[in-house]
Structure 1
Amino acid sequence: MTRRVYIFDTTLRDGEQSPGVSLNAGEKLQIARQLARLGVDVIEAGFPIASQGDFEAVQAIAREVRGVTVAGLARAGFADIDRAWEALRDAEQPRIHTFIATSPIHMQHKLRMDPEQVIEAAVAAVKRAKSYVSDVEFSAEDASRSELDFLCRVLEAAIAAGATVVNIPDTVGYATPQEFAQFIREILSLVRGIEKVVVSVHCHDDLGLAVANSLAAVAAGATQVEGAINGIGERAGNAAIEEVVMALFTRRDQYGCTTGIRTEEIYRTSRLVANLTGMPIQPNKAVVGKNAFAHESGIHQDGVLKERTTYEIMNPTMVGISQSNLVLGKHSGRHAFRQRLAELGYELNDQELNKAFQRFKTLADKKKEITDADLEAIVEDELRPVPVTYDLAYLHISSGTTVVPTATVGLKKGGELLEEAACGNGPVDAICRAVDKVTGIPCVLKSWGINAVTAGKDAIGEVTLKIAENGGKTYIGRGISTDILEASARAYVNAVNKMFWETGRVERKQHGPQEEENRVEQGLA
């Protein structure tokens, strides 16, 4: 009999805790909507008590995103749980996710609590959460390094107190697949009442075993897997949702399980998370990497041409990687453009379509053919949740081996054109200095990276960078162009716009409820 496995996505909570990642509320809402389209069962939207910004982001997702359970994380304390409920109260399907550590090393050194105190705190937390919502998840932090007898006592107590989901995390990625599967089997056989609840696992990738451990747990009887898109998260990250889902599907002969995931949305979700977090996907990443369905070896190419399944165990169209027979170029019209975007899964209103079509026409003058990857880059560059304070009007660069790099930048602010010039150690440094002179705020460029969206000399360059003001919060910017210096300027201005918006330097006008929720600040460190 086919078993249903629930997918719990923690991209917006654990995933956002990746070093250097900081999403604003609008970006979190954009990802949450895409996760709902992907078909995850639960979105862990954040840790409401962590900051006012994170509270407001969870609240916005709870209010706006439907058809999915929205969870908020809370430590086993009443203040955390009360705050989580405040953020989640408008959710269609709210879940409070409360946790406490159960391993000897955590209880002794972090909590400074004895085992009985931990059980007492766990029961009180679940009961408090249950007073607000019917769906309560309890996690035993560092479960894989906990003593089995004690862990079973904690889980029994949590179930008796009203938990509907119990989570067994491999918090530090220490387990191996064989022992973790046995661990889950023993818990399932020893814990009274566990047949009444969903049994979840949350595996980290410190030894590169998060996906393997998650799949081993499913084979042993677990019914929920927690993870993040692209495997992002604390330290080495979480189990990659897309890998778990496609492994369960591709090897359903072994696991006998199904999920509710719409697999054709996987690639788009992966790209969105990579773009907004500024964490590029490695080329050889399973399922969604650039090389995942690429074949260079002559033997492989010959085999795939004769029969795709000789070297492809998954069909790329299943995860949303598709190629259309519709070739777009400078003579293509708005109708063909809109149709291709619809095929790629983008639904744009008239204003968004006009802006994207303008960018498409500009690019088409520089490139003979526009690929799907080019179109995705254009649309994702335009559909940003942060209002534009400064817009790049023009850019002039003077650089070479015998001259001091100089940049002249023109930025539009409202109807005004602001112009400045600056010298730098290189052309990118000069651009950044010129923009800083326009805005009046010197920023530190923390990182800069470029990725070619497609192959060839006329490829779009996608620049992702991070800036900070006076050693404060990091802001991620992204820009695209066939000219990498223009892409750098666009990325820097994009990051500056985020900084202006989130620090309140922009006058905030009144908007409708949904738009207003897109404009709250976010601040989980």
Structure 2
Amino acid sequence: MEKNRIHIFDTTLRDGEQVPGCKLNTREKVKIAKKLEFLGVDVIEAGFPISSPGDYKSVQEICKSVSNTTVVCALSRAVEKDIEIAGIALKYAKLPRIHTGIGTSHCHIHYKFNSTQEKIIERAIHAVKYAKKYVEDVEFYAEDAGRTENEFLAKICENVIKYGATVINIPDTTGYCLPKEYGCKIRFLKENVKGIHKIILSTHCHNDLGLATANSLAGIMNGAEQVECTINGIGERAGNTSLEEIVMIIKQNSHLNLFTHINTKLISSMSHLVSKCTGMKVQANKAIVGMNAFSHSSGIHQDGIIKKRETYESINPEDVGIDKSSIILTARSGRAALAYRYKKLGFFLKKNSLDLVYSIFLKYADEKKEITDMELKKILKKANVNHKKNNKVLKNHHTNDRRINVL
């Protein structure tokens, strides 16, 4: 069966930057944008030009810096001035897109706009028509689509398609939906909106309940062709769908018959760059890019990893740009891990010697979070055991994984 391409729309520089204390200057934004292009994203949402002179300048400079293979997108509200400024900011883009839209849920229509569904449809149509004066590629977002009745959502989608929208974004703005509900919403639109086959249907999910990636996955499994996401999952409140998570889910699950153009080997370096520039540290247990994602401290897990990586890792760390798995020595570690680390240092311990060293190691490990190579040498000296020293590190005969080296 032929695989379907999923477009990756990266909004790190727009939605991701909306995190408090996460301000990026133009130089940093251009640097990240160039790296995103190299990563292989299809669309870079460069900013919200009308929000500040700095954002306007950043969008302009990104347009000049990005080549003709990546779409550069600018956000606007369904307001003429917003759209006009976005259009001007995109002047130098080779592939420009204006991303405009309006809230569609009862909550937004009634409380935010003090309006009616009919007037919201009129504003949506006008925004798309006005944006088409500046660019051919117009993406419409139905803000708070997650809490919008499907029938009204289908109606507004059909109208903006009629007036030239090329992409329609279905945001779960408050992270409200369950995956089944969000998937069914996407399927409903695919089956009930006239002209839906002419446009790209996009997901944009927030992580308020920890379901952003799951909802995006449900969306593409039900017909969405684009995922809007951020590096490290940063974004408003609890964040957005994590680019690295959705991309690796697609890569690891071939039965989904989906693919992206992302060069996954650049994911780790991309994560580090965004973390450094934004000042947003990546939590240690973050999937794919957290410092513990490929680290093992449990004795049972360590023994399995040493024998064959796949026993406790479903992802090869090399696939995301990490050289190797890590065996971390703690009080939970077993003899196999201790022997493995000593072998890496060039020391071969026989069973009796290993038992003695291990008993001393446990006393050290109970007092410290992690045992370093320097401390391992101290333990060996304290044990005063006979050991064979060989500085030549050989390939482990238990595994074909060259990343795990032992004596």
TM-score (normalised: structure 1): 0.61
Match of 2:111 among 109, 112, 124: 109
Secondary structure of 2:295's aligned partner: coil
Q: Which residue of 1 aligns with 2:243?
A: 241
C-alpha deviation, 1:305, in angstroms = 1.7
Q: 1:188-232 CA distances to partner (integer Å, 9 max, x unpaired)?
A: 111100011100010000000000000011111110000110000
Match of 2:215 among 196, 213, 216: 213
Q: Which residue of 1 aligns with 2:156?
A: 154
Q: Which residue of 2 aligns with 1:191?
A: 193
Note the residue ranges of structure 1 that are not aligned, 5 or more in a row: 325-368, 370-453, 459-525
Give the conservation status (yes or no) of the 8 Å contact 2:205–2:241. yes
Q: Give the partner amino acid of 2:17.
A: E
C-alpha deviation, 1:96, in angstroms = 0.4
Q: 1:477-512 CA distances to partner (integer Å, 9 max, x unpaired)?
A: xxxxxxxxxxxxxxxxxxxxxxxxxxxxxxxxxxxx
Secondary structure of 1:92's aligned partner: coil
C-alpha deviation, 1:252, in angstroms = 2.1
* Shift in alpha-carbon separation, 1:266–1:150, aligned structure 2, 3 A: same
Q: Which residue of 2 aligns with 1:260?
A: 261
Q: Distance in 2 between matches of 1:91 and 1:205?
A: 31
Q: Distance in 2 between matches of 1:174 and 1:132?
A: 34
Q: Which residue of 2 aligns with 1:275?
A: 276
Q: Give the partner amino acid of 1:78.
A: E
Q: Which residue of 2 aligns with 1:406?
A: none
Secondary structure of 1:125's aligned partner: helix
Q: Identical aligned pairs, as a percentage?
A: 53
Q: Give the partner amino acid of 2:71.
A: T
Q: Which residue of 2 aligns with 1:515?
A: none
Q: Which residue of 1 aligns with 2:168?
A: 166
Q: Distance in 2 between matches of 1:177 and 1:53?
A: 37
Q: Distance in 2 between matches of 1:25 and 1:10?
A: 15
Q: Distance in 1 between matches of 2:119 and 2:87?
A: 24
Q: Which residue of 2 aligns with 1:93?
A: 95
Q: Distance in 1 between matches of 2:52 and 2:85?
A: 10
C-alpha deviation, 1:455, in angstroms = 6.8
Q: Give the partner amino acid of 2:236.
A: E
Q: 1:358-394 CA distances to partner (integer Å, 9 max, x unpaired)?
A: xxxxxxxxxxx9xxxxxxxxxxxxxxxxxxxxxxxxx
C-alpha deviation, 1:23, in angstroms = 0.6
Secondary structure of 1:118's aligned partner: helix
Q: Distance in 1 between matches of 2:104 and 2:44?
A: 25
Q: Which residue of 2 aligns with 1:292?
A: 293
Structure 1 stretches of 4+ moved >2 Å = 454-458
Q: Give the partner amino acid of 1:189.
A: E
* Shift in alpha-carbon separation, 1:455–1:54, aligned structure 2, 3 A: farther
Q: Distance in 1 between matches of 2:207 and 2:372?
A: 32
Q: Which residue of 2 aligns with 1:309?
A: 310
Secondary structure of 2:175's aligned partner: coil
Q: Give the partner amino acid of 2:133.
A: S
Q: Distance in 2 between matches of 1:184 and 1:80?
A: 28
Q: Distance in 1 between matches of 2:266 and 2:373?
A: 27
Q: Distance in 2 between matches of 1:204 and 1:19?
A: 16
* Shift in alpha-carbon separation, 1:52–1:250, aligned structure 2, 3 A: same
Q: 1:53-98 CA distances to partner (integer Å, 9 max, x unpaired)?
A: 1000000001111121000001011111110011101101100000
Tell me how many residue pairs correspond in the alignment: 329
Q: Which residue of 2 aligns with 1:48?
A: 49
Match of 1:119 among 114, 118, 121: 121
Match runs of 1:484-503 below 5 Å: none
* Shift in alpha-carbon separation, 1:319–1:123, aligned structure 2, 3 A: same
* Shift in alpha-carbon separation, 1:159–1:456, aligned structure 2, 3 A: farther
Q: Distance in 2 between matches of 1:152 and 1:185?
A: 11
Secondary structure of 1:43's aligned partner: strand
Q: Which residue of 2 aligns with 1:145?
A: 147
Q: Distance in 2 between matches of 1:23 and 1:59?
A: 15
* Shift in alpha-carbon separation, 1:271–1:145, aligned structure 2, 3 A: same
Q: Distance in 2 between matches of 1:298 and 1:313?
A: 18
Q: Which residue of 2 aligns with 1:12?
A: 13
Q: Distance in 2 between matches of 1:456 and 1:303?
A: 21
Q: Distance in 2 between matches of 1:154 and 1:119?
A: 6
Give the conservation status (yes or no) of the 8 Å contact 2:172–2:204. yes
Q: Distance in 1 between matches of 2:79 and 2:99?
A: 12
1:34 equivalent in alignment to 2:39: no
* Shift in alpha-carbon separation, 1:36–1:64, aligned structure 2, 3 A: same
C-alpha deviation, 1:303, in angstroms = 1.3
Q: Give the partner amino acid of 1:121.
A: R
Q: Distance in 2 between matches of 1:288 and 1:184?
A: 29
Secondary structure of 1:11's aligned partner: coil
Q: Which residue of 2 aligns with 1:202?
A: 204
Give the conservation status (yes or no) of the 8 Å contact 2:204–2:227. yes
Q: Distance in 1 between matches of 2:311 and 2:218?
A: 27
Q: Distance in 2 between matches of 1:281 and 1:456?
A: 26
* Shift in alpha-carbon separation, 1:158–1:290, aligned structure 2, 3 A: same
Q: Distance in 2 between matches of 1:219 and 1:88?
A: 32
Q: Give the partner amino acid of 1:259.
A: T
Note the residue ranges of structure 2 that are not aligned, 5 or more in a row: 326-344, 346-370, 376-407
Q: Distance in 2 between matches of 1:455 and 1:245?
A: 34
Q: Give the partner amino acid of 2:10.
A: D
Secondary structure of 1:155's aligned partner: helix
Q: Distance in 2 between matches of 1:295 and 1:220?
A: 36
Q: Distance in 2 between matches of 1:193 and 1:260?
A: 26
Secondary structure of 1:89's aligned partner: coil
Q: Distance in 2 between matches of 1:308 and 1:69?
A: 38
TM-score (normalised: structure 2): 0.79
Q: Distance in 1 between matches of 2:182 and 2:55?
A: 33
Give the conservation status (yes or no) of the 8 Å contact 2:184–2:222. yes
Match runs of 1:393-408 below 5 Å: none
Q: Give the partner amino acid of 1:236.
A: A
Q: Which structure would you say has the larger Rg? A: 2
Secondary structure of 2:296's aligned partner: coil
